Structure 1
Amino acid sequence: MGKSQTGKKDYKQQRQKEMEKKKSTQRLMGWSLAIVLVAFLVLIVVSIMHGKGTGKTVEDKEFHYDQQPALGKSDAPVKIVEFADFKCPACKQFDQLILPQVKKDFVDTGIAQIYFINFPIISPDADSRTAAMAGEAVFRQSPEEFWKFYEAVYAKQGDEHTKWATSDALVQIAKESNLKLDFDKLKKDIDDNTYAQAVRDDEAIAAKLRVNSTPTVYINGNAVPDSDTFKYSAIKDAIEKAKGDAKP
């Protein structure tokens, strides 16, 4: 009888230890899950804070305005930045559907100035980068010819899945558009990757701001949500708000 009672006691103690161990393991798993969840939420918050359309204003210095092609009056109260890829079909649509209205209503009237920043995302290791370097080469030769080149490349844009933006093709586009450039120099600059660093600098800006698509548009440092990029009414409202906020 004594042995039986002792056995029961040992069994109960063993069961109690197992239960305590199980509870300890569950608590550990619970804390681990909580830590992972908190870390995940922190990442989401950080991403949102650096993301688009959150209302957080990016400081002017982040865009390096003085190094970018610009269209419009330098004293315009509204600065519009477009991150784009010459091979991007959506960028072509933005150029043809939205920018003409923006130019007419806001650039030509002195309210806004537009800046272009390269973000070769379609084929970053191939002709998206070639096109970006070509744009930089045109800009460095003649800033006023850049926007003509911009329009011409989008007008003759090839399929995004084919390698069409070669140095020969880009120089030919510039020639056919009667740009006032030294075409031999343009060809050499593209082939020699003369402005590769300038493109990398633009990519660094995009990376810092966590830009992940093209076109991405900022208005006075505030990102336009992707859902509004092709809504002229939304772009117009954002510009008018930026103009009002910029008043002294």
Structure 2
Amino acid sequence: MGKKKQAKSNRMQNLTLVTVIVLFLGLGVFALVNNIIGGNKETGEPGQEAKVDEKVFVYDKQPVLGNRDAPVRIVEFGDYKCPTCKKFAEEIYPKLKKDYLDNDKAGFYFINNQFLGKDSITAGIAGEAVHEQNPEIFWKFHDAIFEHQGNESEAWATKDFLVKLAKQAAPGIDYDKLEQAIDKETYKQQVEQDKAIAVQSGVRSVPTLFINGRPVPDSFDYEGIKKMIEEELKKAK
């Protein structure tokens, strides 16, 4: 009986030791995964796991301001009816343009995530139609939509409004062709494809920014955005 008790005691000790080892290994793996996903809280370094495969953005199909061949690619997911996107267009976008786009250090890409009503999609279609006609003029139209943004709860982004706005802000394009594209929803598929990209990228709100595939924690923290851009520029040297 003594031998049986001793054997049982040994098994219990071994089991306890194995449990402790597994527990420590588990905690170690958890800490590693947590640092990868959430970043290192002590150093403030962002996590790398969350980085999106940039192929999903299909850069060559998107409007770009600045240098398409720049080592830094900034992506904004936005909705033309979103008041916060308008705020971004007024407060952050001009700083990015001055510091990184006008000097060709970066390329800025806009991807539709139009979800605030049917006319939101109409605005996205109009943007795609203008871009198809003239990629450079697109940005004037893009800026004008945010500048003349109506109430989020009202259906203001109508065909008449968008064509009239294009005549004011997008000189030289074919306005009849634009009107037809809105009527026939010619570029609705492109808008829907952009929304699919947003889903694949884990976008849950607008505006959402990515820098070389890295999600930006706060789209209105310009110092944080600059830090991320400078990090990417250093990597490219």
After TM superposition, the score normalised by the length of structure 1 is 0.75
Question: For residue 67 of structure 1, what is the aligned residue in structure 2?
Answer: 61
Q: Write out per-residue CA displacement over residues 41-92 of structure 1, whole angstroms, 9 at most, x where no aligned residue.
A: xxxx9xx96xxx7532222211000100001112211000000000011111
Question: For residue 244 of structure 1, what is the aligned residue in structure 2?
Answer: 234
SS of structure 2 residue aligned to 1:217: strand
Larger Rg: 1
The residue type equivalent to 1:95 in the other structure is: A
Q: RCO (CA 8 Å, sep 6+): is it higher in 1 or 2?
A: 1
Question: For residue 97 of structure 1, what is the aligned residue in structure 2?
Answer: 91
Query: Which of the numbers 173, 182, 185 marks the counterpart of 1:193?
Result: 185
Q: Over aligned residues, Cα RMSD in angstroms?
A: 1.5
Separation in 2, partners of 1:84, 1:178: 20
Separation in 2, partners of 1:109, 1:89: 29
SS of structure 1 residue aligned to 2:199: helix
Q: Write out per-residue CA displacement over residues 7-28 of structure 1, whole angstroms, 9 at most, x where no aligned residue.
A: xxxxxxxxxxxxxxxxxxxxxx
Question: For residue 29 of structure 2, what is the aligned residue in structure 1?
Answer: none
- Do 1:83 and 1:117's aligned partners in 2 also have CA atoms closer than 8 Å? yes
SS of structure 2 residue aligned to 1:91: helix
The 4+ residue runs of structure 1 with deviation greater than 6 A are: none
Query: Which of the numbers 197, 202, 209 marks the counterpart of 1:210?
Result: 202
The residue type equivalent to 2:112 in the other structure is: N
Separation in 1, partners of 2:205, 2:47: 16
- Do 1:148 and 1:179's aligned partners in 2 also have CA atoms closer than 8 Å? no
What is the aligned residue count? Answer: 194
1:51-66 mapped onto 2 (5 Å cutoff): 54-55=47-48, 56-66=50-60
After TM superposition, the score normalised by the length of structure 2 is 0.78
Confirm whether residue 232 of structure 1 aligns to residue 222 of structure 2: yes
Question: For residue 23 of structure 1, what is the aligned residue in structure 2?
Answer: none
Q: By how many angstroms is 1:128 displaced? A: 0.7
The residue type equivalent to 2:65 in the other structure is: L
The residue type equivalent to 2:57 in the other structure is: F
Separation in 2, partners of 1:204, 1:81: 15
- Do 1:82 and 1:116's aligned partners in 2 also have CA atoms closer than 8 Å? yes
Question: For residue 183 of structure 1, what is the aligned residue in structure 2?
Answer: 175
Confirm whether residue 161 of structure 1 aligns to residue 146 of structure 2: no
Confirm whether residue 112 of structure 1 aligns to residue 112 of structure 2: no
Q: Write out per-residue CA displacement over residues 140-177 of structure 1, whole angstroms, 9 at most, x where no aligned residue.
A: 11111110001110110000000000011001111122
Separation in 2, partners of 1:73, 1:54: 27
- The percent identity for this pair of structures is 50
- Do 2:80 and 2:146's aligned partners in 1 also have CA atoms closer than 8 Å? yes
Q: By how many angstroms is 1:121 displaced? A: 2.2
Question: For residue 84 of structure 1, what is the aligned residue in structure 2?
Answer: 78
Confirm whether residue 137 of structure 1 aligns to residue 129 of structure 2: yes
Separation in 2, partners of 1:160, 1:103: 26
- Do 1:121 and 1:213's aligned partners in 2 also have CA atoms closer than 8 Å? no
